Amino acid sequence: MTWYSDLCRALDIRLNELDPKPSIAWENTDFEPTESTAFIAPFLVPADSEIVQLDFTQDNRGIYQVDFYMPLGLGTNDLRTLLGRVYDLFHGQTLVYGTVEVEIGGISPRYIGREQSWYRAQLNIEYRCYSN
């Protein structure tokens, strides 16, 4: 499943281009947040794939979910600003990596609220790519 690795890399590389960027808690890596420092955590949430052509080309869709954690007491302005910067980074993009072209679709912010000592929000980035 080279296409799946390439899909993950395309999305992660794009997020890593955020400048300046907060700490990033990459999936399946050790991460210890600093209590007074914002961080983000991306996750890939694939949906069911469909065969769309006779050569067994698959239409792969899903959500690249980015969770935002801002220390409580800093207000929500910095959180919204960071959310907007990630939105702008992905909006209208087609990402190319290895065997895939990843089309970015709708991007939806979700405000979650307080979670322990953090104020948390989420950005759901819809993606689509084709693979054989």
pLDDT greater than 90 at residue 16: yes
Q: What is the structure's pLDDT at 1?
A: 56
Domain ranges across the chain: 2-131
**What pLDDT, on a 0 to 100 scale, did the predictor assign at position 57?**
66
Peptide bond into 20 cis (omega under 30): yes
Please provide residue 106's backbone torsions phi and psi, each rounded to the nearest 5 degrees.
-70, 150
pLDDT at 2: 85
Q: For residue 20, what are its two tokens? A: 């300046």
C-alpha 132/C-alpha 18 separation (Å) is 31
- Cα(107)–Cα(127) distance, integer angstroms: 9
DSSP 55-114: T--EEEEEEEEEEEEEETTS-SHHHHHHHHHHHHHHTT-EEEETTEEEEEEEEEEEEEEE
For the chain, the average pLDDT equals: 89
Q: What percentage of residues in the chain have a pLDDT greater than 70?
A: 91
What does the alpha-carbon distance between residue 86 and residue 76 come to, in Å, rounded to a whole number? Answer: 16
Task: Give the pLDDT band (50/70/90) at residue 18.
Answer: very high
Residue 3: pLDDT over 90: no
State in words which class domain 2-131 has.
alpha beta
pLDDT of residue 116: 84
* pLDDT band of 30, cuts 50, 70, 90: very high
What would the pLDDT profile of 44-103 be if each residue is shown by its tens digit?
988 876 665 555 567 888 999 999 999 998 878 889 999 999 999 999 999 999 888 899
Give the pLDDT score at 54.
54
Enter the pTM of the model: 0.89
